[in-house]
Amino acid sequence: MSQSTSTLTARLAVLVRPGRSRALAGFGLAAVLLLAVAPVLLSPFRLGLLGKFLCLAMVAVGIGLAWGRGGLLTLGQGVYFGLGAYLMAMHLKLADAGPGGVPDFMMLYGTGEVPGWWEPLRSPVVALALVVLVPAALAAVLGWAVFTRRVRGAYFAILSQALAAAFAILLIGQQQTTGGTNGLNGFRSFFGYDLADPVNQRMLYLVAAGVLLVMVVVARQLMTSRFGEVLVAVRDQEDRVRFLGYDPAAVKTAVYVVAAVMAAVGGALFVPIVGIISPADVGVVPSIGFLVGVAIGGRATLLGPVLGSIAVSWAQTTMSEQFPSGWIYLQGALFIVVVAFLPGGLASLVTTWRRRRPAREDEPGTPATPDAAAAPDAADLLPEGSRA
């Protein structure tokens, strides 16, 4: 009886340990604010803006994994965001045109015929599948080709940024099939729902909020899993991890694919919420903007990238309304200040406060939470039987 009681007590202690309880409390609070409070307090216009910010925050979750945990300075996430957005926009244009119809911009700029590679996107199932599969496949091919050659650091950042620039130029040059600089816009429906209906607009916001919460849960599971430990070890001691029998290229490629899929899903939801996608939303400048929000919030934490991205997006909208030409300078100044004086982002202030707070005598020691950025000891990655 005493043994079973002690076992139950130990299990309860694991379930209610401070790190996990804080994570559950934070997730519950975020869910209440996004799903219950915001739809009641915000006007339809402001709710739509928040939905847009949440889509951009999805990209930030992936960057937090790839950059904060894996050390991959991804300056080209606009490519995957744009792939998901354009695939969804192409489906919506075909759906608005009706069975066998031709999108309106093709009648103006093109031959009046739908290209063959557009046709599969008439199916909503195919469109949803391609939103995930195309960015994942591209990230897997590029990641494996780059990481197996041990390209990293500034070289990987430059390569990813060049990819974003090339993607934007490609879109601009294909006016007959992508709308060129004007992009794709004027969507009337989303999977049969009228986008002009305020009820459907609120539904889209709730979908975006729910998807973001799911992404945060997935990110936390990856951070606290064995994969997350290996990923941090690869970031800090890649050669040592390779010596222990792991393949750093496979680990980096995996997290790069996850970040790409998160960005693509954010782009796919961005299209019906905002109503337009153009090369200006997927090039070098937007890709750097994604990174700025993550850096300001705290790239090595779980919620830092999300909160930082939302805060930067909100500040950009507010500043653009009041000072249209001043936001870009403030954004650059924020990035410089954070990188120079607060490399851990604003979230590091909370971590520093927790570490300096005097521990209570009745508070048992707790293991490191997923917000901790330190790498595990590489010896811990060895199998049990091979440890010294």
Give the total number of structural domains in the chain. 1
Q: According to the model, what pLDDT value does residue 371 have?
A: 45
Question: What per-residue confidence (pLDDT) applies to 378?
Answer: 43
Averaged pLDDT for residues 105-121: 84
Q: Are 135 and 83 in contact (CB under 8 A)?
A: yes
**What residue type is assigned to position 32 of the chain?**
V
Share of the chain above pLDDT 70, in %: 81
Percent of the chain past pLDDT 90, that is, above it, reads: 41
> Which residues lie across from 189 on neighbouring strands?
194
197 has pLDDT over 60 = yes
User: Over the chain, what is the mean pLDDT?
Assistant: 82
Nearest 5 degrees, angle CA 18-CA 23-CA 29?
120
Whether the CA torsion 81, 83, 89, 95 is positive or negative: it is: negative
* 223 inside domain: yes
Any domain includes 367: no
The per-residue pLDDT for range 318-377, each reduced to its tens digit, is 877 677 667 777 777 777 777 777 777 776 666 666 666 654 444 444 444 444 444 444
112 pLDDT band, cuts 50/70/90, is confident
Instruction: Evaluate whether residue 349 is within a structural domain.
Output: no
Cβ distance 68 to 301 under 8 Å? yes
Q: For residues 163 and 146, what is the distance between their CA atoms, to the nearest angstrom?
A: 13
Residue with tokens 């909503």: 124
pLDDT, position 54:
95
Residue 111 has what pLDDT? 73
Residue 364 within any structural domain of the chain: no
Token couple for 136: 């994942």
Residue 187 in any domain: the answer is yes
1-19 mean pLDDT: 47
Domain with 113, as residue range(s), is 20-279
Q: What is the pLDDT of residue 379?
A: 43
For residue 103, is pLDDT > 60?
yes
DSSP string, 132-147: HHHHHHHHHHHHHHHH
The strand pairing partners of 194, in sequence order, are 189
Q: Is the pTM here over 0.85, yes or no?
A: no
The answer to whether position 26 is within a domain reads yes
Residue matched to tokens 């934007």: 168
Residue 137 lies in a domain: yes
Please indicate whether residue 211 or residue 372 has the higher confidence score (pLDDT). 211
The whole-number pLDDT of residue 342 equals 72
At 19 the pLDDT is 56
Q: Which residues contact 192 (CB under 8 A, 6 or more apart)?
A: none
**Residue 187 and residue 166: Cα distance in Å, rounded?**
26
Give the Cα separation of 168 and 240 in Å (integer).
38
Span 219-271, pLDDT tens digits: 999 998 999 899 999 888 888 888 888 889 999 999 999 999 999 999 999 99
Residue 300, phi then psi, degrees to nearest 5: -90, 5
In a domain, residue 371? The reply is no
Distance CA 10, CA 122 (A): 54
Which residues, in sequence order, are CB contacts of 176 under 8 Å at separation 6+?
Answer: 106, 109, 110, 111
Please list the alpha-helical segments (H only) found in the chain: 2-15, 18-32, 38-41, 44-63, 77-97, 104-109, 124-147, 154-173, 175-178, 198-224, 226-236, 238-243, 248-274, 284-297, 304-322, 327-341, 347-356
pLDDT value at 8 more than 90: no
CA pair distance 6, 328, nearest whole angstrom: 59
